[in-house]
């Protein structure tokens, strides 16, 4: 039996960037007789407290434990015939573990990433943080990889400078789990789901939402791991949980994905839109990066760039239930065709097969 090692930042089944990329396909690897071992940088308990206020010593101890685990992992690398590296082995420092795996042990591996992680989403990142984050290592990981599976064309263009063995692998959902339901809302529910890092993009849309609300009342449903610091006349906040993530989407009549057009955001894989559309609701998104491929404006959702376009798009969907249903059906079909587990499994397995024939 061949053994495959997964090196990743987060514990299994905890982060969207892992759950909806390589983790979707692990059961198929196991069905094909490949033993999969997962080596995350963070343990579950340390990951859960990483973004909590305080607990500095506990976070430092969690980080030290992670480095110790990596050190002991070095002695077992010889047990593996192939590997997957997702994003990076460690959030700081050079790619020493990856170097040992690729150059010393010569283990063929897939390098998978779903953000422009050679950049940063923080405009005020200090020079010290830029040094210790060592974002330059992304280029080296692309170079050392047997195969690279970037999440969209923008990421693929970057990777292609270092490696021509590319399998463009979109972020996907299991459409047997993410399914449409008939809405029972008394007033339209406009939804947004995301993490603390993207909540500011929704806050930037408040002038639009207030303008629409003054003429067409609706409920704003925010699903996030952080309580919003802004207010809205009719807002309901729900703490994100994996157990309820599909149910929360089912409560929405339409979904929002505002983004500024910046180098960092162009690397995003459109997962908010994919989630909304997978459960049969139209998405309204900024025409940034892969959003322009996922959404065919006027057919399965809307692309909105200006204040006026956002107001018009939200208003049209709030006013017209038949249009929401028609676009939602088209949205679901788009996801089944291009962004589902079944559509992308052959592509992932082709990348794994490339490892086995290397």
With the CA atoms of 278, 280, 285 and 291 taken in that order, what torsion angle do they form, in degrees rounded to the nearest 10? 40
pLDDT score recorded for residue 350: 97
Q: What angle do CA 299, 319, 204 make, to 5 degrees?
A: 80
- Our CA angle for 56, 62, 65, nearest 5°, is 145
d(CA 204, CA 207): 7
Per-residue pLDDT of the chain (358 residues; tens, 9 = 90+): 899 999 999 999 999 999 999 999 999 999 999 999 999 999 988 877 776 666 678 778 888 898 899 889 999 999 999 999 999 999 989 999 999 999 999 999 999 999 999 998 766 667 677 788 899 999 999 999 999 999 999 999 999 999 999 999 999 999 999 999 988 888 999 999 999 889 999 999 999 999 999 999 999 999 999 999 999 999 999 999 999 999 999 999 999 999 999 999 999 999 999 999 999 999 999 999 999 999 999 999 999 999 999 999 999 999 999 999 999 999 999 999 999 999 999 999 999 999 988 7
Distances (CA, A) of 97 to 24, 44, 209, 273, 292: 25, 21, 47, 35, 37
Output the pLDDT for position 52: 62
- What is the SS3 assignment for the chain? CCEEEEEECCCCCCCHHHHCCHHHHHHHHHHCCCEEEEEECCCHHHHHCCCCCCCHHHHHHHHHHHHHHHHHHHHHHHHCCEEEEECCCCCCCCCHHHHHHHHHCCCCEEEEECCCCCCCCCCCCCHHHHHHHCCCHHHHHHHHCCEEEECCHHHHHHHHCCCCCECCCCCCECCCCCCCCCCCCCCCEEEEECCCCCHHHHHCCHHHHHHHHCCCCCEEEEEECCCCCCCCCCEEEEECCCCCHHHHHHCCCEEEECCCCCHHHHCCCCHHHHHHHHCCCCEEECCCCCHHHHCCECCCEEECCCHHHHHHHHHHHHHCHHHHHHHHHHHHHHHHHHCEHHHHHHHHHHHHHHHHCC
Distance CA 154, CA 161 (A): 12
The count of other CB atoms within 10 Å of the CB of residue 241 is 11
What residue ranges of the chain are covered by domains with CATH 3.40.50.2000? 3-172+341-356, 189-338
Q: How far is CA 254 from the centre of its chain?
A: 20
**Positive/negative CA dihedral, 327, 328, 331, 336:** negative
CATH no. for 189-338: 3.40.50.2000
Sign of CA dihedral 172, 177, 183, 184: negative
Predicted pLDDT of residue 131 = 80
CA distances from 348 to 137, 152, 219 (A): 24, 14, 39
Query: What pLDDT shows up at residue 59?
Result: 76
CATH number of 3-172+341-356: 3.40.50.2000
Cβ atoms of residues 211 and 304 within 8 Å: no
* Cα dihedral 44, 268, 302, 225 in deg (nearest 10): 20
Nearest to 193 by CA among 185, 201, 181: 201
CA 239 to chain centre: 18
Half-sphere exposure of 217 toward its Cβ, with a 13 Å CA cutoff? 5
Q: Are 212 and 311 in contact (CB under 8 A)?
A: yes
């Amino acid at each position: 039996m061949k053994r495959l090692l997964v090196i990743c930042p987060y514990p299994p089944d905890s982060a969207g960037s892992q759950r909806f990329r390589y983790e979707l396909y692990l059961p198929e690897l196991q069905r094909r007789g490949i033993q999969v071992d997962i080596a995350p940088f963070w343990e579950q308990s340390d990951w859960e407290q990483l973004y909590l206020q305080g607990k500095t010593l506990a976070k430092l101890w969690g980080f030290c434990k992670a480095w110790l685990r990596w050190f002991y992992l070095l002695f077992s690398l010889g047990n593996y015939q192939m590997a997957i590296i997702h994003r990076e082995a460690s959030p700081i420092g050079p790619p020493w573990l990856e170097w040992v795996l690729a150059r010393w042990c010569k283990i063929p591996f897939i390098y998978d990433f779903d953000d422009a992680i050679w950049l940063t989403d923080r405009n005020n990142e200090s020079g010290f943080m830029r040094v210790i984050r060592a974002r330059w290592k992304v280029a080296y990981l692309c170079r050392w990889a047997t195969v690279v599976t970037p999440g969209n064309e923008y990421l693929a263009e970057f990777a292609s400078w270092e490696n021509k063995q590319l399998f463009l692998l979109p972020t996907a959902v299991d459409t047997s789990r993410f399914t449409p339901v008939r809405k029972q809302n008394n007033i339209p529910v406009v939804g947004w789901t995301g993490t603390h890092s993207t909540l500011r993009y929704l806050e930037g849309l408040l002038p639009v939402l207030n303008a629409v609300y003054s003429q067409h009342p609706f409920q704003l449903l925010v699903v996030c791991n952080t309580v919003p610091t802004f207010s809205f006349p009719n807002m309901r906040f729900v703490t994100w949980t994996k157990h309820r993530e599909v149910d929360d989407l089912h409560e929405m009549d339409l979904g929002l994905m505002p983004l500024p057009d910046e180098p960092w955001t162009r690397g995003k894989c459109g997962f908010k839109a994919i989630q909304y559309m997978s459960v049969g609701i139209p998405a309204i998104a900024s025409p940034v990066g892969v959003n322009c491929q996922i959404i065919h404006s006027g057919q399965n959702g809307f692309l909105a760039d200006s204040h006026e376009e956002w107001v018009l798009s939200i208003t049209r969907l709030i006013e017209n239930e038949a249009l929401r249903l028609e676009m939602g059906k088209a949205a679901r079909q788009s996801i089944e065709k291009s962004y589902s587990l079944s559509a992308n499994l052959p592509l992932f397995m082709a990348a794994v097969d490339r490892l086995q024939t290397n």
